[in-house]
Structure 1
């Protein structure tokens, strides 16, 4: 087993990637083609040409490839503990005129109106974006769900435990190979 000093010298903060398709408009076309395929497969083929499902399936795969070509895997990295604490302090919970803390802010201890966008911007290490690009991305290129996925990943990197991932597929493939 490696000694602690060696492990500490090689320590790195956790990172994760989040795939984001920047051509969400293609989703409707994909769903429409899936419905057409489902309909075609329900109707018995009445000619030698078949039910047309093969052509629809090819269009679906071509569209999937197009969507993948417009998908970027955002890489996010956790902050070191002191940086995280300072970052949270930059976004203190809001208080009303009587000093009562906003209920949403009280639950997690930060100003939820300012925190998440700043967290995403601080956590994303790839791509490296300038302010104008961030404005374009956050101002209209992402859906609320895509933004939430980035924000939840950034939160998880900093606040949840780091565990050793398990891959069922890799485990099945290496089970009988003598690997340990």
Structure 2
């Protein structure tokens, strides 16, 4: 192993978070999916749990009549889904970000309960997500526009991914099958 070569090729950890930015399509998908699921559950029951003697089952090989609608919605959603590539921050960049967002304190100097991780969670996470997005390129104007349109769930998906990139060990997973047997 050539350490210098490995060091030259070193790069921060990355992950991709796909987000569908068209909420109307997502809502329509959920409505159609719920109808399909309801019809599927209606055809599965009729008797006691595990007893299908009284059930009027539709053969499983017959697709739901709305399945083509659901498939079309999935394709439309794919066209509106953006793969956000997030990249871990460098150690110093992470430390600087932490120091720029100190936890809030009340008038008695006690830490705000929302800031249990040691930063102002209200200001820290938007900065973390903004700095972690490597692709697509985030100009200040583009970030402001995106931030206004993200749901809380979508933002949290990005924030959780960015946090994990920086705070979870990313070594090669240990594998018992790949390790030599060692005597006990």
TM-score range, shorter chain: 0.7 to 0.9
Structure 2 residue 75 is the aligned partner of structure 1 residue 65: yes
Residue 134 of structure 2 aligns to a residue whose secondary structure is strand
Distance in 1 of aligned mates of 2:34 and 2:141: 39
Which of 103, 125, 129 is 1:93 aligned to? 103
Gaps of 5+ in 2: 44-55, 175-184
Structure 2 residue 160 is the aligned partner of structure 1 residue 152: yes
Distance in 2 of aligned mates of 1:165 and 1:31: 36
Please identify, of 76-85 and 30-39, the stretch whose mean Cα deviation from structure 2 is larger. 30-39
Deviation at 1:83, TM superposition (A): 1.1
Q: How many residues align?
A: 157
Please list, as runs of the form range in 1=range in 2, the aligned pairs for 1:83-162 lying within 5 A after superposition. 83-105=93-115, 107-139=116-148, 141-162=149-170
Gaps of 5+ in 1: 46-51, 167-180
Correspondence for 1:23: 22
Give per-residue Cα distances to partners, 1:80-130, cap 9 Å, x unaligned. 11111111111111122222221232x211111110001111110111122
Task: Quickly say closer, same or farther: Cα 1:96–1:64, change in 2 above 3 A.
Answer: same
Correspondence for 1:48: none
Which structure shows the bigger proportion of residues in helix conformation? 1
Residue 66 of structure 2 aligns to a residue whose secondary structure is helix
Residue 162 of structure 1 aligns to a residue whose secondary structure is coil
| Equivalent residues of 1:21, 1:70 under 8 A apart | yes
Please identify, of 144-153 and 23-32, the stretch whose mean Cα deviation from structure 2 is larger. 23-32
Two-structure CA RMSD over aligned residues (Å): 2.1
Distance in 1 of aligned mates of 2:146 and 2:107: 34
Question: What TM-score, normalized to structure 2?
Answer: 0.77
| Equivalent residues of 1:14, 1:78 under 8 A apart | yes
Structure 1 residue ranges (4+ consecutive) displaced by more than 6 angstroms after TM superposition: none
Question: What TM-score, normalized to structure 1?
Answer: 0.78
